[in-house]
């Protein structure tokens, strides 16, 4: 049996079922796709407002009572950025009804999610005003709190500088300026547009019958959709890069050095598998060149790692350094990049990186949330690799493939978050 069964439900709705007897719970996630366009702040706010209540469960108390009655089911909403699109998610995690001897739990979950998504608490012709104002403040606080996590902040700022003229520069949770001038009517219009036009992927993970799940969704989901939107493909910028440096001063004790690279490689291309291995060898853990040569041997970084933004064709290096070591740390980091191009990769580095990737993929198979995230990535990119397929591709990558893909990786932006002059 395939890892995943995909069914077209019509009106640009796809059902993805991952049937697995080892799970004692059923994990459900409704994922609406939105372009990362001028409504991105409104997109981010919609799930938070919908989470507050719906007809029949008008507030958090009533929702909590319902979830308790369902043997402690969990419900959440969220927003993700995958390439130049936002994914608005509505998720439930409930005990499998066969383990508690009570029929109807799964049906109740689907009906509840439908009410949350399609029947919000209204005031006049829009959302309930106090829910909007409270969630607006919560979202604003979340955006502003990013600055407290300097590692995350510096990485986000590197992306913003690197992709300044691209949609990808937009922050997944929106902007404070947009929230300050929020138009409630526009918010409700964006919500209605989500229901009517956004492609929808529904994921169900657990020991379930596929036909029963399909029937329950068709019977419960109340969406009036005539014509849905096509989300444009994410633009992956090609080479021809003039590397630039951005230095931002802030009241910090430790400098953050981030480097953004264009990989010139798409997630659904064959070259992506050697790129994954390349990134792991370079900065994927204690086995990596950055960890060993920048952090351990040279003592130039408190941390150093590399990660892929696979839907945008980017690789990002993050490190925490002393300001006085900036140029030296940058030099040694770039030396690791050059060594990769020249094939200076040991058998132990190659093997450790391969094993680390395969282990993380196997771990994902045991976590419903990670499984959904993996297959949602496939849906975004138009790829069709099961996790086992992905593992096989990684096992088949040769050293020459890694060296070849390393030549496509080009430095774009060096971003330094530096202590204010006189503070270091």
Q: Residue ranges per domain, the chain?
A: 5-220, 244-419
Q: Report CA dihedral (311, 312, 318, 323) to the nearest 10 degrees.
A: -160
Q: Say which residue the tokens 């960890």 belong to.
A: 291
Asked if domains 5-220 and 244-419 share a fold, the reply is yes
Report the CATH number of the 244-419 domain. 3.30.830.10
- Predicted pLDDT at 268: 85
Q: Determine the pLDDT at residue 1.
A: 39
Q: Residue-wise pLDDT tens for the chain (424 aa)?
A: 368 999 999 999 999 999 999 999 999 999 999 999 999 999 999 999 999 999 999 999 999 999 999 999 999 999 999 999 999 999 999 999 888 878 899 999 999 999 999 999 999 999 999 999 999 999 999 999 999 999 999 999 999 999 998 999 999 999 999 999 999 999 999 999 999 999 999 999 999 999 999 999 999 999 989 889 999 999 887 766 678 999 999 999 899 999 999 999 999 889 999 999 999 999 999 999 999 999 999 999 999 999 999 999 999 999 999 999 999 999 999 999 999 999 999 999 999 999 999 999 999 999 999 999 999 999 999 999 999 999 999 999 999 999 999 999 999 999 999 998 755 4
The CATH code that applies to domain 5-220 is 3.30.830.10
């Amino acid at each position: 049996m395939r890892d995943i069964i995909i069914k077209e439900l019509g009106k640009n709705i796809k059902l993805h079922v991952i049937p697995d007897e080892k799970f004692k719970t059923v994990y459900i996630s409704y994922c609406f796709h939105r372009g990362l366009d001028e409504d991105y702040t409104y997109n981010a706010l919609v799930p938070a407002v919908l989470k507050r209540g719906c007809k029949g469960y008008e507030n958090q108390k009533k929702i909590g009572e319902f979830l308790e009655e369902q043997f402690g089911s969990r419900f959440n909403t969220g927003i993700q950025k995958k390439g130049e699109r936002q994914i608005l998610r509505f998720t439930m995690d409930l005990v499998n009804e066969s383990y508690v001897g009570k029929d109807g739990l799964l049906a109740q979950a689907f009906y509840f999610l439908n009410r949350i998504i399609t029947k919000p608490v209204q005031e006049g012709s829009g959302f309930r005003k106090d829910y909007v104002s409270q969630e607006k403040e919560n979202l604003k606080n979340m955006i502003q709190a990013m600055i407290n996590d300097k590692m995350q902040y510096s990485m986000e700022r590197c992306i913003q500088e690197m992709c300044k003229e691209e949609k990808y520069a937009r922050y997944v949770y929106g902007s404070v300026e947009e929230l300050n001038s929020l138009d409630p009517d526009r918010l409700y219009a964006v919500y209605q547009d989500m229901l009517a036009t956004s492609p929808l992927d529904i994921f169900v993970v657990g020991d379930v019958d596929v036909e029963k799940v399909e029937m329950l969704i068709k019977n419960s989901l109340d969406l009036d959709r005539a014509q849905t939107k096509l989300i444009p493909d994410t633009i992956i910028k090609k080479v021809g890069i003039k590397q630039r440096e951005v230095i931002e001063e802030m009241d910090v004790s430790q400098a953050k050095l981030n480097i953004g690279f264009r990989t010139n490689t798409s997630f659904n291309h064959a070259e992506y598998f050697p790129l994954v291995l390349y990134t792991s060898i370079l900065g994927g853990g204690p086995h990596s060149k950055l960890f060993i040569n920048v952090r351990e041997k040279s003592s130039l970084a408190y941390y150093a790692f590399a990660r892929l933004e696979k839907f945008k064709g980017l690789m990002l290096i993050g490190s925490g350094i002393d300001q006085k070591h900036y140029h030296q740390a940058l030099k040694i980091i770039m030396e690791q990049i050059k060594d990769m191009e020249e094939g200076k990769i040991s058998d132990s580095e190659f093997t450790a990186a391969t094993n680390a990737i395969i282990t993380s993929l196997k771990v994902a198979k045991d976590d419903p949330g990670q499984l959904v995230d993996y297959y949602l990535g496939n849906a975004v990119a138009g790829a069709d690799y099961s996790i086992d397929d992905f593992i096989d591709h990684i096992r088949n990558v040769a050293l020459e493939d890694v060296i070849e893909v390393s030549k496509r990786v080009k430095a774009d932006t060096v971003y330094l978050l530096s202590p204010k002059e006189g503070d270091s």
